[in-house]
Amino acid sequence: MNALLIKGIISVKGDRGMKICLFGVSNVGKTTVGKLLAERLDIKFVDLDEEVKNRLKMSLEEFVNTENLRWRDQKRGSIIKKIIKMEEDVVFAISPISYIENFKTSIISDDNLLIELYDT
């Protein structure tokens, strides 16, 4: 990872409730990069898929096969809002979501750094 990027992130670390949100398609490396970044910055790492499993008490497979896409995105959007409201610094890996209206107003903030990971 670019050292300049790390220095920029470290300079904002310490702001009240800073969230570094990693977006990207499935298997692009959000969890891997997120864990490394959180470790480097000595802050908490949160993975949306793990939060879905823990908070909804079901496997990811059960979740994906339950109801419809809009319902799933409403549930994930609700979890995202709760994570964003936490008062601690967090690196947050967010799996793809189709209906972003469930969380977009809460994620756009000076306390949140949004990063899209992509594979070439």
CB 9 within 8 A of CB 37: yes
Contact between 64 and 72 (Cβ < 8 Å): yes
Domain 16-116, CATH among 1.20.1250.20, 3.40.50.300, 1.20.58.340, 2.60.40.10 = 3.40.50.300
Task: Domain ranges for the chain, please list them.
Answer: 16-116
Which residue has 């899209």 as its token pair? 116
What is the SS3 assignment for 11-51? Answer: HHECECCCEEEEECCCCCCHHHHHHHHHHHHCCEEEEHHHH
Position 2 scores a pLDDT of 47
Q: What is the pLDDT of residue 111?
A: 81
40 near 89, Cβ under 8 Å?
no
- Strands in 90-94's sheet, in edge-to-edge order, are 44-47, 90-94, 19-23, 112-116
Q: What is the pLDDT along the chain (120 residues), one digit of tens a residue?
A: 444 455 455 555 444 588 999 999 989 999 999 999 999 999 999 999 999 999 999 998 888 888 788 888 899 999 999 999 888 999 999 988 877 777 777 788 888 899 999 988
Rg for the chain, CA atoms, rounded: 14
Amino acid type, 4: L
Predicted TM-score of the model (pTM): 0.81
pLDDT value at residue 7: 44
